[in-house]
Every structure is written in C-alpha cells, then in structure tokens.
C-alpha cells in the first residue's frame, strides 16, 4: 500500500471517530488486530456495541465505499467481532455491524455517512 493510500485511510478513520463521538457514541477500541484481520472501530451506541468498518474514498471511480464491503469481508468482521467479545469483558445487549463511509474532498472537510446495521 502506498503512503498516500495509508495517509488517506488514517485520515478517514480519524474523521469516522470524530463523527461517531459527535453522534454520542463512545469509542472503546480502534484498529484491533489479530492474525485474521482488523476491526477499524468498536464503539458503544447506547447499549449496542457497534463494530465499524471504515471505508475512505477520494473519488467515485471504484463505486461507493460501502460497496467495498462484500460478503467475505462481512464474514471476516463477524469472526473478528466474536474474537473481540471473547477477549473482553463487554456484555452488550445487542451488537451491530456498521460501515462508515468517508468521502475526502479536494478542499474542505470530508463528508461522512454512517450506515448502521449495514450487514
């Protein structure tokens, strides 16, 4: 991955965290990794624990950011969420899988769209 792509991805994750916090969610983990993959953001939304995949785009060439989360990625995130829950003392009433789309603009702030229960 190029430095530019890494920088854009990091910027997108920071924008996503800011958006979630501004919406009243409490972020409890970021970039949680195992040898099976990574969960970008884990946040409490009331009594619901949301596992968030962040997708950042600078243009529409490759479709919407959420379109990049296919069935295989959704399965992997479900397995990772189970692993996270097994390794923490969290006892959520509900869990949810969200996608946070970040659209980086040439000028001005990024546009963030939060898709709750995306899969």
Range of the domain at 104: 3-115
Rounded distance, CA 116 to CA 54, Å? Answer: 12
pLDDT at 1: 65
Residue found by looking up tokens 């959704």 in the block: 74
Tokens representing 92?
Answer: 């959520």
Phi and psi at residue 35, to the nearest 5°: -70, -10
pLDDT at 111: 95
pTM of the model: 0.92
pLDDT tens-digit profile of 6-64? 888 899 999 999 999 999 999 999 999 999 999 999 999 999 999 999 999 987 777 88
pLDDT tens-digit profile of 51-102? 999 999 987 777 888 888 999 999 999 999 999 999 999 999 999 999 999 9
Rounded distance, CA 52 to CA 42, Å? Answer: 6
Query: Residues of the chain with pLDDT > 90: what percent?
Result: 79
Phi and psi at residue 73, to the nearest 5°: -65, -40
CATH number of the CATH domain containing 102: 3.40.1350.10
Stretch 109-115: mean pLDDT, rounded? Answer: 96
Count the domains in the chain: 1
């Amino acid at each position: 991955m190029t430095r530019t792509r890494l920088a854009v991805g990091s910027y997108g994750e920071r924008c996503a965290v800011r958006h979630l916090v501004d919406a009243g969610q409490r972020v409890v983990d970021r970039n949680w990794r195992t040898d099976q993959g990574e969960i970008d953001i884990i946040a409490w939304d009331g009594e619901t624990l949301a596992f968030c995949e962040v997708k950042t785009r600078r243009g529409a060439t490759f479709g919407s950011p959420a379109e990049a989360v296919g069935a295989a990625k959704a399965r992997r995130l479900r397995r990772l969420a189970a692993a996270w829950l097994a390794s923490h003392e969290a006892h959520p009433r509900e869990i949810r899988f969200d996608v946070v789309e970040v659209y980086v603009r040439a000028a001005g702030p990024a546009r963030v769209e939060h898709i709750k229960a995306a899969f």
